[in-house]
Structure 1
Amino acid sequence: MDSCFHVLIQALLHCAPSSPPPLPATNCQGLCSGGTASRSDPLTSAMGNLCCCVQVDQSTVAIREQFGKFDSVLEPGCHCMPWFAGKRVAGQLTLRLQQLDVRCETKTKDNVFVNVVASIQYRALADKASDAFYKLSNTRSQIQAYVFDVIRASVPKLHLDDAFEQKDEIARAVEEELEKAMSAYGFEIVQTLIVDIEPDEHVKRAMNEINAAARLRAAANEKAEAEKIVQIKRAEGEAEAKYLSGLGIARQRQAIVDGLRDSVLGFSVNVPGTTAKDVMDMVLITQYFDTMKEIGASSKASSVFIPHGPGAVRDIATQIRDGLLQGSSVAKH
């Protein structure tokens, strides 16, 4: 019995080709390592052919053909494969999420060339595995072509600054176009991201300089406004101080006039025979000598040369009196 089984195995090994026939070129073969049909050594293939069984890994589906024609999609697990009835596994298709990074060079509306980097996340649909396996020969090239088309149609309508601000709108346009195109081939577009927009290095440097100049200009304007406010407040303070100083001087002079009037009236009453003129002359002489005393007593006073003599007081009194009389006559007219 053992010798018969050994002879049968040898016959199968002899009939089996030395190298398995190549699988038809499919889109999944260029996408990931799990996208190709798995091959085993001749002994394992012989045992599989003898037992008419085939294994499909998790997150993978197998395409079964009968005499070169599509027969069915095999889910993960162990399946019967009657090779003598012309059935075979044409290949396997991964259902895992895959990512394709596309770099597209285009220009903006203001004639700035940029590199737009887009990341496309996609996967094959299990219920459309036959379409994904047979309809496309190179899925990555197909997706890349659609991405180029949409980006080069969208970005030239935008200025450079607007392109940075509207990255989500560009990604949404790419995703909608890919979803419409790839759904017919059994693929689902899960997510589309505009990862980066890279202008030329000279453009980056110029943008940074423009930004820095704008910030410096804004800082200068703010500084000028601050200095303006300080000067206005200082002027308002000086005006208010001068106003209050004028009020103080006016009140001081009013107090002096009131005091002089009271002094003249009191002196005239207490000293009979004196006139108001005599009293005013005496008051002026007193004020004159008090002023001289203050000038001499001040340590910081400069040298002051004034005409001085017995008649100087009379001259000062006459000048003051004449000024008062002229002011009174002007007020009457």
Structure 2
Amino acid sequence: MFVFSTVFLTVLICILTIIVLKFSLFVVDQETVAVVERLGKFNRAATAGLNFRLPFLEWVSGWLSLRIQQIDITIETKTKDNVFVKVEVSVQYHVVAEKIYDAFYRLTDPKKQIESFVFDVIRAEVPKLILDDVFEKKDSIAIAVKNELAELMSNFGYALVKALVTNIEPDEKVKAAMNEINEQQRLRMAAQEKGEAEKILIVKNAEAEAEGMRLQGLGVANQRKAIIDGLKQSIREFQAEMSEVSPSEIMNLVMMVQYYDTLKDIGSRDKSNTIFMPHSPSSVSDIAKQLLCKSVVE
């Protein structure tokens, strides 16, 4: 009987010990805080690791994560120029380890409270700006959100890490109108660039043509000078050999040779047009007389 009582007592003690340990020991994960209450009143914040609480007197009433959390909020509001836009804001925040009491007890739903604050800030800032300025100053809007929330949420045990305006979505009709304006601006710029390119091309072609004509004129002038110099030399040599021949007769002879050379050159071309020209020797003198008469008249 004594042995039975001893065994029973030992088993009972073991069971009670297990129960006490079960209700006394608890583990808190990393970057997490357990809120411990004693008889319904806040007692302490248990940090990561193995923790002890008084069984039946202390309870873990809740858990708070110390990790950075993010909440995405979409707010519809109106700009200064009466355009409805949807502004998407992302807010990153975390619980302040030194303010566990405020973070756990002062706010029932922290996310809802943050949303309310963000709504107030966005609807106060965006109506001050026209649509174009909303796009340009979205960083300033995000800073305003952060500055406003940082002070408010610090009273409730939360710290703001960053506030970002991630997207600004105008009304569909306004967006289509903006796209149309951008398209027309780009088309106008393309037309201007094309016009400038064509203008440059025309100017360059004109300059090239003028330079070509100048060089062509220079070549013709040099050619004529060379012909005249050659004729002078031929006349001098002819007179040196035959002094009894007059210069006019020599000139007629030279012109005849030049005339027949011209006929030969025209006839040798494959794609030349049909030209009827006098080819008798007397025609050369007739042409010379006509040129002489024309020069005298002028």
Q: TM-score, normalised by structure 2?
A: 0.81
Return the alpha-carbon distance in structure 2 between the equivalents of residues 242 and 258 of structure 1.
24
Matched, 1:62 2:32: no
Post-superposition offset of 1:254: 0.6
Matched, 1:164 2:135: yes
Matched, 1:78 2:51: yes
The number of aligned residues is: 285
Return the alpha-carbon distance in structure 1 between the equivalents of residues 206 and 37 of structure 2.
95
Query: Secondary structure of the equivalent of 2:155?
Result: helix
Residues 65-214 of structure 1 correspond to what in structure 2 (within 5 A)? 65-66=38-39, 68-76=40-48, 77-81=50-54, 83=56, 87-89=57-59, 91-97=61-67, 98-214=69-185
Contact 2:256 2:281 in 1 (8 A): no
Contact 1:109 1:156 in 2 (8 A): yes
Structure 1 residues 319 and 163 mapped into 2: Cα distance closer, same or farther (>3 Å)?
A: same
Contact 1:100 1:121 in 2 (8 A): yes
Matched, 1:273 2:224: no
Structure 1 residues 157 and 102 mapped into 2: Cα distance closer, same or farther (>3 Å)?
A: same
Matched residue type, 2:262:
T
Structure 1 residues 325 and 133 mapped into 2: Cα distance closer, same or farther (>3 Å)?
A: same
Structure 1: segments with no counterpart, 5+ residues? 10-43, 328-333
Deviations 1:285-313 (A, max 9, x none): 22223323333443433332346666533
Query: Secondary structure of the equivalent of 1:136?
Result: coil
CA RMSD, Structure 1 to Structure 2 (Å): 3.1
Return the alpha-carbon distance in structure 2 between the equivalents of residues 274 and 52 of structure 1.
148
Percent identity between matched residues is 44
Matched residue type, 1:288:
Y
Post-superposition offset of 1:257: 0.8
Post-superposition offset of 1:90: 7.1
Structure 1 residues 152 and 321 mapped into 2: Cα distance closer, same or farther (>3 Å)?
A: same
Return the alpha-carbon distance in structure 2 between the equivalents of residues 212 and 116 of structure 1.
24
Return the alpha-carbon distance in structure 1 between the equivalents of residues 289 and 236 of structure 2.
20
Contact 1:56 1:62 in 2 (8 A): no
Post-superposition offset of 1:180: 0.4
Q: TM-score, normalised by structure 1?
A: 0.73
Residues 30-41 of structure 1 correspond to what in structure 2 (within 5 A)? none
Matched, 1:301 2:272: yes
Return the alpha-carbon distance in structure 2 between the equivalents of residues 287 and 175 of structure 1.
98
